[in-house]
Amino acid sequence: MAIVSRGFSGRRREGGERLPPGQYLVEDFPVLSAGPTPVVPPDRWEFAIDTESGQTHRWSWRELMALPRQRQTVDIHCVTRWTKLDTTWEGVSLDVLFEDVETTADYALVHSYGGYTTNMPLDDLLDGKAWIAYRFDGEELAPVHGGPARLLVPHLYFWKSAKWVRGIRLLDDDWPGFWETAGYHNYGDPWREQRYEDD
């Protein structure tokens, strides 16, 4: 059995091995949005987790800022084939937000200001794999990249990292989101090149 520490996992794929199949490297940070950038002033921002049993857990912007934050450097992979290495983010781990959430649900449907949705198994949001990110590259997250806050789930194709994130609905049954309904893969693992529904 392999025990992989955080530091070791960062060096796991050296050089070209950090590029998933079919991807190319970019230095810039492309913007991909299916619609206009919603305007969400922080004093009207809130984030909510709705459980399958009807409980709602809410955080205001001020409450989010009061939670412990993490800084992490990750590689991001868009299904349109660009990969950006070593992107640095700050935000709150979903593990922190889920601390007091009682659930037996297996699925999460993430939704955003502006109406975007994306789905994933709840396990993919836990155990240090996902964050609500509000800083990028040492600065406030720009509105075009999802500011004031976006989901960051770097181990899946970047369409799963919902910009302008507003909440997570926990579900017993999987419910496909925006791109998943439009023919993209339900799970979206870049290392298994799960781009479209039949991949």
Task: Summarize as ranges the residues that interact with ligand MTE (CB under 6 A).
Answer: 29-34, 78, 112, 114, 116, 145-146, 158-159, 161-164
> What is the rounded CA–CA span in Å between residue 64 and residue 54?
22
The separation between the first and the last C-alpha atoms of the chain, rounded to the nearest angstrom, is 29
Residue 1 CB, shortest distance to ligand MTE, in Å, is 34
With CA atoms as reference, report the closest residue to 42 among 107, 113, 98, 139. Answer: 113
User: 179: helix, coil or strand?
Assistant: helix
Which one, 93 or 118, has the nearer CB to Mo ion? Answer: 118
Count the alpha carbons within 13 Å of 167 in the hemisphere toward its beta carbon.
Answer: 17
Which one, 26 or 52, has the nearer CB to ligand MTE? Answer: 26
Please select the residue that binds Mo ion; options are 25, 32, 39, 48, rule is CB under 5 A. 32
Residue 177 CB, shortest distance to Mo ion, in Å, is 13
Q: Which of residues 122-181 bind Mo ion (CB under 5 A)?
A: 159
Which one, 145 or 195, has the nearer CB to ligand MTE? Answer: 145
Task: Count how many residues are written for the chain.
Answer: 199
Which one, 40 or 122, has the nearer CB to ligand MTE? Answer: 40
Residue 29 CB, shortest distance to ligand MTE, in Å, is 6
> What is the rounded CA–CA span in Å between residue 3 and residue 199?
30
Which one, 64 or 110, has the nearer CB to ligand MTE? Answer: 110
Q: Which of residues 36-75 bind Mo ion (CB under 5 A)?
A: none
> What is the rounded CA–CA span in Å between residue 139 and residue 147?
11
In this structure, what token pair is assigned to residue 2? 């392999």
Binding site residues, Mo ion, CB under 5 A: 32, 78-79, 159
